[in-house]
Amino acid sequence: MNSSASLLIFFHSLLRYGVLLFVAGAGILALRGLLLRRPILVYERLAAIVAVVLCHVQLLFGVIIYIMRFKAFEMMAPVHERYWKYEHISMMLVAITLVTIGRGLSKRARTEPGKQLRIAVFYLIALVIMIVAIPWPITEFGSQYEWM
């Protein structure tokens, strides 16, 4: 693998922690605000926006890596090829779509609780999908990345 692909994979892997942190943070803050029945605070709205931006940057890195490594998929074992070629990218696309839809629906909601509910539900469901789809170092798919 060439150095530019390795560098992109490094940043893609590193950025995952920021994505997880902000998606989880925005979802939990929205849920907390909903349960406490208080208005949305500036930092809660900012967390939701940063989560969307980070998700889209992560998606951009992922698509570039996917295009650069497409030929390499055919040299992998069938289970690895299937995971990287179909499962990882499709689950992440679903998760990022949920985050984007949640933010969009939140902006259109008329009430504060409605906004918080949409962020909480969509972001936390997306978070679960992301956690399942990430190739963690303890898994067969993530074990090749030693530094994580």
Query: 106 is in which domain, residue-wise?
Result: 3-133
Which pLDDT score is estimated for 141?
Answer: 66
Which pLDDT score is estimated for 143?
Answer: 62
The CA-atom distances, in angstroms, between 60 and each of 21, 54, 77, 120, 129 are 19, 10, 26, 24, 18
Average pLDDT, the chain: 89
Q: Could you report the per-residue pLDDT of 7-19, keeping only the tens digit for each?
A: 888 899 899 999 9
Is 144 a residue whose pLDDT tops 70?
no
- Classify residue 19: in a domain, yes or no: yes
Total domains present in the chain = 1
Which string of DSSP letters, residue by residue, matches 15-49? HHHHHHHHHHHHHHHHHHHHHHT-PPPHHHHHHHH
Whole-model pTM over 0.85: yes
Q: Could you report the per-residue pLDDT of 43-86, keeping only the tens digit for each?
A: 999 999 999 999 999 999 999 988 887 777 777 777 777 888 88
- Classify residue 142: in a domain, yes or no: no
